[in-house]
Every structure is written in C-alpha cells, then in structure tokens.
Structure 1
Amino acid sequence: MRYGEATVTVVDPRSYMTYQPFLPEAAAGSISPRHVVVPLRRVLPKAEVLTGRVTTIDQDRKVATVAPLVGEAYELPFDYLVIALGAVSRTFPIPGLAEQGIGMKGIEEAIGLRNHVLEQLDKADSTTDEEVRRRALTFVFVGGGFAGAETIGEVEDLARDAARYYNNVKREDMRFILVDAADRILPEVGPKLGTYGKEHLEGRGVEIYLSTSMDSCVDGHVVLKNGLEVDSNTIVWTAGVKPNPALARFGLPLGPRGHVDCNEKLQVNGTDYIWAAGDNAQVPDMASREAGVENAWCPPNAQHALRQAKLLGDNVISGMRGFPQETYKHANKGAVAGLGLHKGVAMIVMGKMKIKLKGRLAWYMHRGYHGLAMPTWNRKIRIFADWTLGMFLKREVVSLGAMETPREEFYEAAKPAPAPAAAKPEAEKAKAS
C-alpha cells in the first residue's frame, strides 16, 4: 500500500503465529518450540497488533468489540475486515475427554505432551506398583490423519530413544495405540501410501484399530467401540478440526460446517468489504471444479492457506481502489508427512502424474517443503540449524513438567508455617488422663 493509505490492525489472543505442521517435531524435541512460532510484532512492524479477542462484530456500524487481556472491552472501527480465525480441535461429547484429553493445535500443547510423556517414563521407572507402571506406559492416540499419524510416529521415536536411559523401562514395556473411525490412516496421501504408513507403524509396535472410535475415557479408563478397554495417563486427541466457533457470533454467512461462506475471490458472500481465508473459510476449489468435480471446496491445510493469504492481500487492496479482484485457483501439489526420524510418506502431483515416495526420501521431502514454507528467514535458518545439530547430537530427553506450575516450589517455601497447636489447660489435661 501507499504510505498513509490505510492502517492495518491485527487482533489475536496470542502475540505470535504457530506453524502447526511442525508441532509433532516440537513434541518430539527435534525442533525447539521457540522456532515453531513467529512473533507478530516483529514480523509485522507496520501493523498495529492488539493482543485480545474480537467478541462481536457490528456490520451496520462497522465496529468490532475487542476484549483485551486485561481491562474493559472497547470498540474498534474498521472500513475493511479480514476473518482468519483458523480452526480448533473437533471434539465429540465423549465422557472424560475434556478432563483427560491432550490436543495438538498449539505449541503449548506440544510442549505439554513432550513433558507429559517423559514424566510417564519417570513414573514407570521409579514405581514398584505394576498397575501404575502399566498405566504410565500406555499411550492412546485418537485420529489417524496427518496430525495423529505424525504425532504418534514422533512420540514413539522420542520414547524409544529415552528408554535407553532408564534402567527399568524398555520399548517392549510400552503400549502405543492409534484409533480412527475411518477404515484407513493418512487419507490425504492415498490408499497405497496410507497402507504403507499403517504397516510401518505396526512394524514399530503401534497397535492400530480402524473403523472404531472411543466411547469414554473417564479417569483414564479408555473404552473403545470394538470392546477394547485400557487404562492410560496419556490420551492424545487429533481427530480433525472444525472452524473456530466464535464465527457464529459475528453475523456472517456460514456454510453447513460452520465455515465463512466465500466466493472464488475470497470475499464473503453478500458483502463488499469482508474477506476470509484459511481454515475458517469455505472457498470454492476452482481447479477441481474445472476438472469436473462438483461442489469442491478447498481443504483446510497450509498449502491453500498460504496461497490464499497472498491473494487476499492483493484483493483487499484492489477492493479499496475499485479495481477488479483476482480469482483464487490452486491445483493440489500433493502432500507430505513425517512418521518419525528418517521415516515418511509423500505424494507429489505433477500435472496428471502422481509420484509416490516413502521412507527416507519422503522424509527429506517433508522436511524440505515445510522448512521452506516456514514464515521468515529467521525461523527458516533456526529450523534448519536444529535439524543439522540433530544429525550430530543426541536427542534431549529432559522433562520440564514443572514449567506448568513454576511457582509451586517457591510457594511451598514462602508460605507461612502453620501455627502450633494451643497448649491445653491443666484441668483439661487432668480430665483427659
């Protein structure tokens, strides 16, 4: 934009952006968690960044209500609006899930999962109670898409490496379970590579139960639809995503699954000043529709979100200046997934030809693609540096679970000592005797 042409204001409850495809590697310790996030104020120096949540949008007055981290809510006027709230974990009313489940949508959850898994190994190595030990070494993952398959592959690698430093814990003592309601895992890369991924994980000792679901997990007692019951301290939920439910409060036209209904120019239908992109937008997939696929919509993945963002920026400026806006059209380039160190699957689309790779080469494709897609050269360099050091140095297996309650030890040291019990009168002592 020209100097002084507009003011760009970004409202987000977090002061950073998370590159979610790297969350499994962050959970496994292959990448430093700090390198997976991008600080907004650093990379958007010409924008006004507000840390808070948009609670309501008044389209008639063109005003958004912002609830900051502290203090009273206030109104923020706008001329043009971009909706990019992304997605949240898709959950179901399963008893015990809210209390026991661990998601994988944010860097905090990835760090928490890593600390939690290593803490379970500490418990199992230190206890003499066989039931406590079995429960600590049983890991249940629900969801067999990219997030689930990649996370269980990386965490199994982490646990296998860490077990070498424990006297009483071996990989054979652990039980990894992957559950999915579909009849195959990794549907994004096709049936053949999905079958390879399943066989590969099973070869590493992962139990995979397809066409089934979890009925309950109250107090860590997992009950599956197929009748299997296990006790576990670790229940990781990666069963898909859904649009941010906050969209329902904004008065925007929504699709059947809760996405913001957009046209092929990323503009919200029925408006001329609102655009949307990414996981919270229902955008027509023009490449698939031109190929004869009716009612095709862009899937919620980084491949589309990154390209939609670039076009959206151009279209907003075109809309401001009264110029024609461009149509978003992107043909699927394929998909890549890592299943742990040196293991992966990849499907590369080149015109009408699909190249399918597996093993180490596919893993290199996975790292190369996402490493280059990571925003900012600062983060790209740090990511590749982490990978390079990982080739020569052993994986860190330190659990920092105390980070979740960092003040607990200080509180115990600083809290007032309990007052001594008052001495009983002599008469009461005599009576008691």
Structure 2
Amino acid sequence: MDLVIKDARLTGREGLVDIGLEGGRIAAIEPRLHGGEEISAEGNLVSPSFYEIHIHLDAILTEGDPRPNRSGSLWEGIAIWAERVGRLSREDVRARVLKVLPWFVAHGVTHIRTHVDVCDPSLTALKALLEIKAEVKGLIDIQIVAFPQLGMFSFEGGDALVRQALELGADVIGGIPHYEITREYGVQNVKFALSLAHESGLPVDIHCDETDDDHSRFLETMAAETLRLRLSGRVAASHATAMHSYNNAYADKLIGNVKRAGLHVICNPPDNAVLQGRFDHYPIRRGLTRVKELLAAGVNVAAGHDSVMDPWYPMGKGDPLHTAFVLLHYGLMSGREDREQLFPMLTSRPAAIWHNRLVRGSEGLEGHAVAVGNPADLIVWPVPTEDDALRTLPMRRYVLKRGKVVAETRPEVSYVQGQEVRFLR
C-alpha cells in the first residue's frame, strides 16, 4: 500500500477499519492493514471528499467592489457585477481565485464546478480560469460553465460568446432563461443550450427559475427538451427556487417530469436563503426549491454554495459543510432520515452530476463512496459521525486527493480551568 488510514469509522458500517490506498485508489478496507505510510483517523469518520458543484469563482472576493449590495437582492447583485466586469483583468482574477482555492481544499473539496460570466467580449475571466484549471490539476479538479450572466438573447451576441467560450475550452454549457427580457427569449435560451449540448456532446447546467415568480416556468422546458434530445443524465437545473411558489398540483406534475427526463437539480441554500423573498412582507417565503419532494420522487438533488464574498452573498469561506448546515435548517431537514441525505448531497450526488451519470434511486451514486476500487479522494474528520460534523462544523483533519494528503489541520484544543473541552457526547 502507498498509504494506510488506520482506525477509520465509516457511515453505515460497524466497528473500525483500516483503509489501504494504492495507485490513487482505495485498494482495501479491512480491520487490520499494514505496509506503506500510515496516518490515524483515531476512531473518527472518514468520508468521500466534497464536490463544490455550483460556485462563481470569477466573482469571488468582490463584495463591496465597486459598491455594496444595499438591498441584498439578486437583481442589484447582477447590476453591481455588470459594473465590476469592466475592470476585470487576468491578474485580478488570478489573484482572487488562487487565494481562495486553498480555502476549498482545506475544507475537503477536491472538485469544483464554477460558472464563469461570458458576457464580456474579451472573455477575460474565462481565459484566466482556464489557466488556473491547468495549473492546479492534481490538487483540485475544475469544471468551467460558460455562463451568460446577462442573457444569451437579451445581451447582444450572448449566444455567440457561449460558443466561443466552449471553443476555448469551457466544459459545460450554461444559461439563465429567467433573466431574459421576454419569456420567448427565455425559452430560446433553454432550447439553444440543449441543442448545443446535443450537437457538441457537452453537459448543461442552467440557472433556472431563480426567482419567487410563480409564472417563471422554464424548468418544464428543460425537461421537455432533455427528453426530446435524449440528454438524460447530462442536464442540471441550478436553483429552481420558483418551485417553492408554484401551486401544489403544478409542482407535483413538474417534479414527475423532471424525474422522467433524468434531470439533476442543484440547490443553493446559503445564497437563496438571503436572495429570495425580497418582495414579501410577512409571511416571507423561504424560496428554496422543493428539495425533500424532489428527493422523495427519486430526482438527483445536490447542494452548492454559489458564492463566497461577492455581490450576491457577503459571507462564506469555501466550506460545503456550511451549505449543508443551512439546508438542514432552511429546508426543514432536521429529521434523522433527512439528515442522512445531507452528506450525499455534497459527495456522491454532485459527483453523479460531474460525471453525467443518470441517477435512478441510489443507482448511479456508487462511484464516489468509500469503497474498494473508487478514487481515493477522502476526508478524515476529527469527529466520529456525520451528525457530529454537521453540528460542530469542525475543520477537516486530513484531505486526500488521489491517495495523497493535500491538506492537514492541526487539532485545536480548548481548555476551561485546565480541563480539555470536547464537544461530543
């Protein structure tokens, strides 16, 4: 073995095991293994690494620049970002992204899908991120979504810029139909993106219905086009917050068609917790998509953070565990069976989206688990269970990428009157 993780606790398995890693993969899971370098989990949890499946790296660390988002709304955030894009430079993008990528790695992220605004004729941010993607390979894998923030058809030449971004090396086709000026442009946005996917073989990830408007219904168009073009497993709808405001009869029909089409859905609890409900007085809608209903129907639902200190969200430190913590509260997922869904929404479920796997129930989620034969992308925690991790939000003890330790956090110990404090039962 190249490396053995000693005394590990795995979710759903009794007792402690050793995990042997060889050639970047998990070679063995047994009670006692020897050979090679060793690190100890000390009886604590070992989990798959995190996939940050929805973030905007090009906008990271721009909060307050050129001005603060005083209303806190999605629309003011977009307007502020449109001003900031004019001052983007290669050096600016590189400095901000390279500062924050280690934050993600330290928190156990080994894969990031970033949406990059291509409504910039010079494609400055895209070119900088393509450079960074190549440079950090082996530390963290990056997928780039060609994202037309101001619309494909409401922004002059938006559709052509998406094509150009793909020619330069973007991995995923993006879209934002609800931001187009008319519904007709929005439908055209969806149809163009999925037609391009059919033509190119690339996957799709569309910002869809990120609004409280119950008349925003582009997800049904996504489902219909996915079925028509036979793209099941390759299409993701991000946000879909309008689903919270639909009448129950329509939502039930829609969820059935989303399942039938094999669409993935990505929710973004931290950002949508503060961006939605801005037109309400009381009661104020939560604005999150119908996560529990989608999961119950067998739809693959993953969770992404969306932002770290940008015009839309002034908080964040690159930790997907915060995303799950917000979702536990905001999505009413505090019941035991609901809590058991939270870690998979950061690990195996986004991994299925990344790899374009069609998910049927639990089928299609096996590729990113602590199992023999799988890539050795792992987190060694300082706590014994997923619940303890969600409750205490600890730093990760070790993070492994392809069997190598890429991040380590030395344990922090608190003492009260000389006695060590442990936040465990």
Q: TM-score range by the shorter chain?
A: under 0.3
Q: Bigger radius of gyration, 1 or 2?
A: 1
**With structure 2 as the length reference, what TM-score do the two structures score?**
0.26
**With structure 1 as the length reference, what TM-score do the two structures score?**
0.26
